[in-house]
Every structure is written in C-alpha cells, then in structure tokens.
C-alpha cells in the first residue's frame, strides 16, 4: 500500500523502530538503500521525496548506459513492504520506488501492474520461490586476489540430501534460518542440495509482491550472512563447469478474488486441470521463447541450459515432469499449482513473476489450448515439435525487442529499456576470453 512519508513514519514508530533502511530494487534485483535514523527521515526527504533516477540506467558493473539528464525523481513508499532488518537491532526495511517516468522501467512496478490486471479480471494470485545457491569457503578479498578463478566450495563433502551433510553443517543452516526469520522471511525448508557447497531454500508462498520481496531479500540477506562469516554465497546460474547449475523456480496458483476458490484444479478434467489452468499454462509456454529476457538477466544465465544440466531445454509443460519448462502439480487439490522451471537462481524475482502472470493471463484472455505435454523426462529432452529457446543473452534481448506480444503485455518503454540493458550486458563480455577457451583453441587453430 503506497502512503505518504508521514504515514510511513507513524507505522514505523508503532513498531518501535529507531532506524530505517530505505531503498529501491534496481533492474538487477539489487536493493539500493540509504540508512536513516527515523527522526531524520522526514528532514532527509522532505514533503516531496526524491532520488536520482540513474538507477534504471546502471549496468551490472554500475556503469551508466544511455543519456541523461539524471535528476531527482519523486518517490513513493510501500507501507506493505515494511519488514524487520536482521543485522541491526531496532531497525526496519522500507521499499520505495520511482513515481515519475522511471516507474515505467521499474521491475517491482512491472509486477504491481500485472497484479492489478489480475484483480481487475477477478483473480487473486498466490506465489512463492525456491532457490539453489552455492556457498564458497572464500571471502571477497580472496576471490579478487585470484581473479575469481577456481572457486573453492564450502561443505566440500556434501552429497545431495544426505543426512550426515545436514548434521555436519547444522549450525550454519540454523544460523542462516535465524537471520532470515529475523528479517520476516519464513522458509518452508532450508538445507543442503546437489554437490559440494550447494544449498536450497523453499520460501513460504503468499501474495505476489510480498513473495517477490521475500525472494529478493532472501538473496540479499543470505549473501550478507555468508560474507559476515568470511564465506561467499553465489546465485550465479552456472558458477563453473564443475558445479551444478542453479535454479530459481517460481510456484504460482490462481484463486477467485470473490470466493477464494482455487481456479486451477479440476479432478474430472484431463490431467486434473481446469480450462483456466490449461489456458494459463498455454500462455506461459507460448510467450516464454519471446520473453526469456524477463527471467534470464545476464550472459551466464544461459549456460545453465547446456546439455547435462537438469534445466529445461524447450518451451514445454508436463504433469509432474521436472524436465519441462512448466511443471504442473494437481494433487492434492489444495496444493495445485504450476512451477516455472526455466529461471536460474540469478533471476530477478519481480520480473519472473511479472512475466508468468502476464503471459498466463494473456493465455486466458486468448483462450489458448495446450500443446501435447512433454512425454519423456531426461534433462536433455527436446521434442521435435517443441519451440526452441534463445541460447544467448543477445538472442533473447532481440527476441524480446521484436515481440509484439511482449510489447502488448509490458509496454514499449519497458521492452525497449530492458532489451537495451541486456544488449549492453551482452556486449560487455563479447571480447572476454577465459582459460577454458584458451585451452581449447590456442594451440589448435
């Protein structure tokens, strides 16, 4: 709920908060914040709160792309975003966003617009994320000293879901859970996953904007928790060829806004899916190849889809099929949902959820029918008639820019801006050559 700064300050006072961290989530999901004593907040922002509108125009190396002028642009504050800050007693977090022209470029605002659209159509949305991440036994200084080469994992003996691994690292996991809970994030599960240094967290589902906030702060708090212990948490989709690819999956369900009834399950229908559910999934499958830019933000995002990784290779769907881009879960009926399995753990949760919701609602509006489900279940399954996915960031950016459906769903300003930002990111690494590439070609060509 957007409210005036004075009302936000009153709400924070009710929580007995002395310090507030006020910030904006940028295009890459980073929380750009300033810390204030609560009694100084009004003086700092005044009656008309502003912040420089350069944030939408920073690339991942914090270099500006595009022309200015960059000026102070009016802000709005979301009282519903207030949560405790887990690294400082008596402190809270407050999410702000631009209220002027830059609102058209904001990831969080893009999601808010889709939530409004869903409500206007009589739908309520429930969403939640799960993330895999790697923990390295090195801090930022050590990684920089060796040029980020040969990352050394924490929990080197870990085997997927092994009880002894859980026991060995119980203090680390319990400590992280305590920090997350202190930041008003309540994981459903948290533990070790596939291979050395790999962990996984499933977050509690809830309202869509709050779920995306939880996901974004989960990543930020986890990285901070690890660095405070001379470790590094990495959410790169593919850290190295010797590491498992990392997922950032979205779970989503749709309810009737008036009655609260779940609109996805239908036991008597094929695969237990209602027509609403089938059209919603059909929309995601149809639009995904044109809009992977929404969920795959950088060059590394696409390495996770290489052969051998358990990541979908096509725009596909299937009941309980972990190799499909959209896994459909219909039983039990009370947990009926879709799982969008294309994104890696590097995804911006606001944009991924905005995409899935927009594409699904478009599928309902168009009355789309589902193609046949993915029949097999291997990690490299690619049906002959399946629509191929973009293989690189540049290809995805061009597909997004030229997609009339994406422009219809997200607006010209947003599509042009995101595709431009990703084109800049793609070009930034065009001339970069790594050790594996030199080893493969230097003595041969």
Token match 């399950």: residue? 265
* 348-to-101, 109, 111, 139, 249 alpha-carbon distances in Å: 21, 13, 11, 24, 11
Q: Are 169 and 155 in contact (CB under 8 A)?
A: yes
Please indicate, yes or no, if residue 242 is contained in any of the structural domains. yes
Identify the pLDDT of residue 310.
83
Burial of 20 (0-12, 13-18, 19+ CB in 10 A): buried
Identify the pLDDT of residue 265.
94
Please indicate, yes or no, if residue 438 is contained in any of the structural domains. no
Q: At 110, phi and psi to the nearest 5?
A: -60, -40
Residues 95 and 123 in one domain: no
Identify the pLDDT of residue 309.
84
Strands (E), 157-229: 187-192, 198-203
How many domains is the chain partitioned into structurally? Answer: 2
Residues 155 and 258 in one domain: yes
Identify the pLDDT of residue 2.
63
Residues 148 and 20 in one domain: no
Query: Which CATH number belongs to the domain containing residue 49 in this structure?
Result: 3.10.20.70
* 85-to-19, 92, 166, 239, 437 alpha-carbon distances in Å: 9, 5, 27, 29, 43
Query: Which CATH number belongs to the domain containing residue 366 in this structure?
Result: 3.30.590.10
Domain end marker among 67, 102, 137: 102
Structure tokens belonging to residue 181:
């809970």
Residues 232 and 134 in one domain: yes
Q: Which residues of 267-296 are buried (b: 16+ CB within 10 A; e: fewer)?
A: eeeebbbbebbbbbbbbbbbbbbbbbbbbb
Q: Classify the C-alpha dihedral 115-236-204-327 as positive or negative.
A: positive
Residues 89 and 223 in one domain: no
Over the stretch 47-97, which tens digit does the pLDDT of each residue have? Answer: 788 999 999 999 999 999 988 889 999 999 999 999 999 999 999 999 999
Residues 89 and 139 in one domain: no
Domain end marker among 363, 389, 415: 389
Candidates 314, 326, 327; CA nearest to 384 is 314
Distance CA 58, CA 208 (A): 26
Residues 283 and 343 in one domain: yes
pTM confidence score: 0.96
Structure tokens belonging to residue 321:
């099929």
Q: Are 251 and 366 in contact (CB under 8 A)?
A: no
Please indicate, yes or no, if residue 109 is contained in any of the structural domains. no
Over the stretch 27-46, which tens digit does the pLDDT of each residue have? Answer: 999 999 999 999 898 888 87
Please indicate, yes or no, if residue 435 is contained in any of the structural domains. no
The contacts of residue 311 (CB under 8 Å, 6+ apart) are 245, 247, 304, 305, 341, 342, 344, 379
Token match 């029949």: residue? 375
Cis peptide before 84 (omega within 30 of 0): no
Residues 185 and 304 in one domain: yes
Candidates 106, 30, 39, 115; CA nearest to 75 is 106
Please indicate, yes or no, if residue 407 is contained in any of the structural domains. no
The contacts of residue 39 (CB under 8 Å, 6+ apart) are none
Domain span at 83: 2-102
Q: Are 282 and 273 in contact (CB under 8 A)?
A: no
Token match 């609109």: residue? 263
Please indicate, yes or no, if residue 46 is contained in any of the structural domains. yes
Q: Which stretches of the chain drop beneath a pLDDT of 50?
A: none
Residues 121 and 98 in one domain: no
Residues 206 and 289 in one domain: yes
Distance CA 322, CA 339 (A): 9
Identify the pLDDT of residue 10.
83
Report helix angle 170-182 to 208-227, nearest 10: 130
Please indicate, yes or no, if residue 292 is contained in any of the structural domains. yes
Identify the pLDDT of residue 382.
76
Identify the pLDDT of residue 1.
56
């Amino acid at each position: 709920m957007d409210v005036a700064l004075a009302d936000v300050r009153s709400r924070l006072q009710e929580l007995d908060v002395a310090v507030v961290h006020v910030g904006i989530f940028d295009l890459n999901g980073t929380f750009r914040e300033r810390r204030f004593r609560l009694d100084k907040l009004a003086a700092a922002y005044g009656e008309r709160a502003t912040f420089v509108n350069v944030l939408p125009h920073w690339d991942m190396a914090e270099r500006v792309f595009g022309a200015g002028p960059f000026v102070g642009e009016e802000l709005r504050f979301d009282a519903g975003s207030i949560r405790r800050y887990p690294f400082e007693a008596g402190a809270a977090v407050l999410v702000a966003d631009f209220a002027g022209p830059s609102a058209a470029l904001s990831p969080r605002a893009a999601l808010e617009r889709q939530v409004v659209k869903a409500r206007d159509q009589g739908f309520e949305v429930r969403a939640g994320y799960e993330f895999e991440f790697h923990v390295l036994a090195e801090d930022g200084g050590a990684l920089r000293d060796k040029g980020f080469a040969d990352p050394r994992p924490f929990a080197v003996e870990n085997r997927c879901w092994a009880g002894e691994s859980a026991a060995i690292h119980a203090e680390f996991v319990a400590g992280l859970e305590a920090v997350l809970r202190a930041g008003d994030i309540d994981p459903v599960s948290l533990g070790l996953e596939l291979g050395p240094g790999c962990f996984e967290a499933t977050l509690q589902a809830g309202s869509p904007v709050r779920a995306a906030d939880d996901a974004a702060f989960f990543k930020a708090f986890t990285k901070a928790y690890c660095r405070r212990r001379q470790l590094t948490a990495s959410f790169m989709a593919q850290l190295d060829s010797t590491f498992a690819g990392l997922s950032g999956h979205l779970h989503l369900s749709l309810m009737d806004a008036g009655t609260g009834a779940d609109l996805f399950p239908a036991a008597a229908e094929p695969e237990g899916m209602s027509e609403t559910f089938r059209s919603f999934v059909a929309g995601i499958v149809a639009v995904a190849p044109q809009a992977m830019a929404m969920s795959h933000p950088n060059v590394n995002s696409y390495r996770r889809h290489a052969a051998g990784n358990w990541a979908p290779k096509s725009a596909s769907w299937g009941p309980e099929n972990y190799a499909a881009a959209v896994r459909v879960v219909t039983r039990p009926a009370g947990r009926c949902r879709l799982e969008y399995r294309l994104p890696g753990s590097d995804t911006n949760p606001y944009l991924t959820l905005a995409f899935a919701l927009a594409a699904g609602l478009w599928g309902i509006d168009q009355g789309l029918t589902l193609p046949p489900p993915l029949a097999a279940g291997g990690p490299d399954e690619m049906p002959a008639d399946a629509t191929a996915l973009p293989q690189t960031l540049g290809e995805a950016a061009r597909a997004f820019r030229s997609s009339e459906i994406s422009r219809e769903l997200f607006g010209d300003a947003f599509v042009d801006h995101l595709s431009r930002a990703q084109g800049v990111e793609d070009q930034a690494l065009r001339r970069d050559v790594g050790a594996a590439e030199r080893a493969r070609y230097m003595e041969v060509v």
